[in-house]
Structure 1
Amino acid sequence: MLSTLFARSAALSVALALAGAASAQPVPPPTPIPYPEALQKAASDLFTKANVTGDRVELVIDPLIDGVSGAQSAATRSMQQALTEIVQKSYPRFAVQPFSSEALAREPVVLIGTFTAVNNGGDNAGPRDAFRICLTLADLKSKSIVSKGVARAKPEGIDVTPTQYYRDSPVWAKDQATEAYIKTCQGTKLGDPVDAVYADRLRAAALINDGILEYEAKRYREALAFYHTARTLPGGDQHRVRIGTYLSAAKLGRRDDAVDAFGDLVDSGLAGNQLMVKLLFKPGSTQFIDNPQITEPYPMWLSQIATRARAKGACLEIVGHTSRTGMPNMNERLSVLRAQFVMELLQIGAPDSRNRMIATGMGFKENLIGTGKDDASDALDRRVEFKVIGC
């Protein structure tokens, strides 16, 4: 009798152990599918499950962005156009309206979305072998998230080259408005309230988008007017406004205005302890690329960084970055050498700052894009970063 009880107890222990092991197994990653199918799946989930009433629902699309850099790209623009066509064809109760102050005043449903290169297995250090589509509907009337749609897409045929405004942007820095957009898309679930920071900046965001479109259409005066107006609005003091003001002034040949605008970018970045500048180098070299059209403003940029940092009494860590291409140890060494080269250029104009700067390199450990294409699509991965550190 006793032996039977021991046998049953042992069998139960084994069964429980096996059940525990089974439950502890990680959930397998989603299987990426071709991009058109992935977008259709995400859109179908988004609109068929939308928890919003009414025979006619006004819908505006806040332009889709990369989920890390916050940039618009050829892919996000084409995705936005495809979503508009899907809505008009298959979900006619949603009436797509322009992303404008007038439409936003009527408290429509807003579609936001991110498109992000990821490692499908969840390895942050691994190659980006899939794209994550995240779509969200935010109802401005109820101030809540009313639907979600997600999918994973294969990378074949996807062009993530930034649009002209983002391609021309000289710097990248964390921006509260962009982070709120990404959080509202990726960090919410059905029924959650709409992020207040995101909602409060929507009207300004519409004007900023108008400015971006005018800039890309080469109507620089009109673009500048939109940026100036946006900055006067609540929530309009955004990084994208500073970038647009600099780019438009530079295109119009207003050098003094461009210098002031770039200085404003530097001040904002240093205040946030993160200023990332797109200084483009020759492959495998510490020398800038042979393209005067791109490198012509570099001396002014570096002069403003040195001058503004000195005025703040700031000490700087200058951090070089590279793309994934090449051997890791070589990339790390190259990133250090590039940072040292930039530091030396800064010190030429500010020799009294020699003891207030250090140069380091990260190789490709902190890639933002991570596709390793070594073209305009992943230029941010080859940035030089300026961090304020203790003196």
Structure 2
Amino acid sequence: MRGIGRFRIAMVGLAVLAGVTATSAQTAPPPTPTPFAEALRKAADDLFSKAAVSGEKVELVIDPLIDAASGAQSTATRSMQATLMEIVRTSYPRFSVLPFDSEALAGKPVVLVGTFTAVNNQGAADGPRDAYRICLTLADLKSNSVVSKGVSRARTEGVDTTPTQYYRDSPLWAKDQATDAYIKTCQGTKLGDAIDPGYVERLTANALINDGILAYETQHFREALAFYRAARKLPGGEQHRVRIGTYLAASKLARREDMVDAFGDLIDYGLSTDRLMVKLLFKPGTTQFIDDRQITEPYPMWLSQIATRSRQKGACLEIVGHTSHTGLPQVNDRLSALRAQFVMDLLLTGAPDNRGRMIATGRGFRENLVGTGKDDASDALDRRVEFKVIGC
């Protein structure tokens, strides 16, 4: 009996110890964000110094870094890429940075992918985005595996997350498998994992699309259009960025018919995913579009295409208004609902037979994608109007 008693006491002790250990793990303090440059340097040093890849010289290409919430490149991600290239040049000469193009990819180099995402540092889903999470990954195409990771947290001060011109001009956002595969390769892998085949399949197309984005942003619109059309013919080239780029380039070239067709293509894709997010910009605190004709001029065409394409598909729509994370929740809830109603009224003006197939609702800032509350171009997606396909 004494042996049994001692055994029970021992088991109780182990249970208490396990409970203490679990509690300690649950209450582990969150990572401490550091200044942006310091955080990037830490992630880069971890990435390159611990890379499990053989060879005295390692060919490296950088698939442009993105914001994981929006999929966009920004001033910050472009700056990060330039800094990473300089770090490689000065501190890790073993790596040789090559252009991100089909020729370099044919040699099966190591590919660097990275995301930069606004997060709540305490991990609260509905908390303020008070830090940035940096994620860097090296994916070796020869071994088809993840060979290094680097992560850190950065403070928000002095960080410019304004989207680059292509992404600022983009009229809408929709969930895209190519972007999801990129993010998964960075954030959803651990050392030694196989590279997501969906990401590898799209790499050559991604390189051409990036060429198109850069051509667009340097006002070489014909070249941009050629890059997008070439990318679309490749495996994995049917991407949302190609559709957006085709629309933007056609718009800049004043090809009205091509522009309308391209926007219709965007609408069809968004409706096929049951979720279409359009950047319709309003005056602060109102249900009126901003006073900038250059921005609002295509809005009637956009809304006409949405009404026409949804009717052709027999789709019923929930029109959902959103606001950025500023002001009182109840005020934003009402404002977002009024904006959705305003957009629905415009749709019904041009297509009254859609009445009964649409409802308008508002979410305030409860479903922010970016969530920084800056109320500028960097969080424009948070002030979107969303069209969700619902049962009729």
TM bucket, shorter chain: over 0.9
Structure 1 length-normalised TM = 0.97
After the TM superposition, which residues 6-45 of structure 1 pair with which residues of structure 2 at under 5 Å, given as runs?
Answer: 13=12, 16-17=15-16, 19-25=18-24, 26=26, 27-45=28-46
Match of 1:62 in 2: 63
Q: In 2, distance between residues paired with 1:148 and 1:326?
A: 38
What are the superposed Cα offsets for residues 319-375 of structure 1, whole Å, 9 maximum, x if unpaired?
Answer: 000001100011011111100000000001110001000011111011011000000
2:78 counterpart of 1:81: no
After the TM superposition, which residues 89-104 of structure 1 pair with which residues of structure 2 at under 5 Å, given as runs?
Answer: 89-104=90-105
Q: Secondary structure at the match of 1:21?
A: helix
Q: In 2, distance between residues paired with 1:9 and 1:385?
A: 60
What are the superposed Cα offsets for residues 93-140 of structure 1, whole Å, 9 maximum, x if unpaired?
Answer: 100000001000110000000000000000010000000000000000
Q: In 2, distance between residues paired with 1:325 and 1:272?
A: 29
Structure 1: which amino acid aligns with 2:313? K
Q: In 2, distance between residues paired with 1:82 and 1:255?
A: 40
What are the superposed Cα offsets for residues 144-171 of structure 1, whole Å, 9 maximum, x if unpaired?
Answer: 1000000000111100000000000000
Q: In 2, distance between residues paired with 1:291 and 1:51?
A: 52
Q: In 1, distance between residues paired with 2:216 and 2:68?
A: 23
The 4+ residue runs of structure 1 with deviation greater than 6 A are 5-12
1:9 CA displacement: 6.8
1:28 CA displacement: 1.8
Q: In 2, distance between residues paired with 1:18 and 1:144?
A: 38
Match of 2:185 in 1: 184
Match of 1:247 in 2: 248
Match of 1:257 in 2: 258
1:8 CA displacement: 11
Match of 2:136 in 1: 135
Q: In 1, distance between residues paired with 2:15 and 2:269?
A: 57
Identity, % of aligned positions: 73
1:67 CA displacement: 1.0
Q: In 2, distance between residues paired with 1:56 and 1:158?
A: 33
After the TM superposition, which residues 338-357 of structure 1 pair with which residues of structure 2 at under 5 Å, given as runs?
Answer: 338-357=339-358
Q: Secondary structure at the match of 1:355?
A: coil
1:38 CA displacement: 0.6
Instruction: Report how many aligned residue pairs link the two structures.
Output: 390
Q: Secondary structure at the match of 2:51?
A: coil
Match of 2:161 in 1: 160
1:20 CA displacement: 1.1
Q: In 1, distance between residues paired with 2:15 and 2:304?
A: 67
Match of 1:148 in 2: 149
Q: CA 1:271–1:16 in 2, change beyond 3 Å: closer, same or farther?
A: closer
Structure 2: which amino acid aligns with 1:302? L
Q: Secondary structure at the match of 1:189?
A: coil
Q: In 2, distance between residues paired with 1:329 and 1:11?
A: 55
Match of 2:120 in 1: 119
Q: In 2, distance between residues paired with 1:8 and 1:278?
A: 66
Match of 2:229 in 1: 228
Q: In 1, distance between residues paired with 2:101 and 2:314?
A: 42
Q: In 1, distance between residues paired with 2:88 and 2:165?
A: 27
Structure 2: which amino acid aligns with 1:125? D
Match of 1:196 in 2: 197
1:24 CA displacement: 2.1
What is the alpha-carbon root mean square deviation over aligned residues? 1.7
Q: In 1, distance between residues paired with 2:203 and 2:367?
A: 30
1:7 CA displacement: 11
Structure 2: which amino acid aligns with 1:24? T
After the TM superposition, which residues 281-296 of structure 1 pair with which residues of structure 2 at under 5 Å, given as runs?
Answer: 281-296=282-297
Q: In 2, distance between residues paired with 1:234 and 1:19?
A: 51
In structure 2, stretches of 5+ residues that fail to align are: none
In structure 1, stretches of 5+ residues that fail to align are: none
Q: Secondary structure at the match of 2:118?
A: strand
Structure 2: which amino acid aligns with 1:20? G
Structure 1: which amino acid aligns with 2:325? R
Q: In 2, distance between residues paired with 1:137 and 1:290?
A: 45
Structure 1: which amino acid aligns with 2:22? S
Q: In 2, distance between residues paired with 1:186 and 1:198?
A: 13
What are the superposed Cα offsets for residues 299-326 of structure 1, whole Å, 9 maximum, x if unpaired?
Answer: 0000000000000000000000000110
Q: In 2, distance between residues paired with 1:229 and 1:23?
A: 54
Q: Secondary structure at the match of 1:366?
A: coil
Q: CA 1:93–1:329 in 2, change beyond 3 Å: closer, same or farther?
A: same
Q: Secondary structure at the match of 1:75?
A: helix
What are the superposed Cα offsets for residues 273-324 of structure 1, whole Å, 9 maximum, x if unpaired?
Answer: 1110000001110110011110000000000000000000000000000001
Q: Secondary structure at the match of 2:355?
A: helix
Structure 2 length-normalised TM = 0.97
2:208 counterpart of 1:207: yes
Q: CA 1:9–1:312 in 2, change beyond 3 Å: closer, same or farther?
A: closer
Q: In 1, distance between residues paired with 2:82 and 2:22?
A: 42
Q: In 2, distance between residues paired with 1:121 and 1:329?
A: 25
Structure 2: which amino acid aligns with 1:48? S
1:68 CA displacement: 1.3
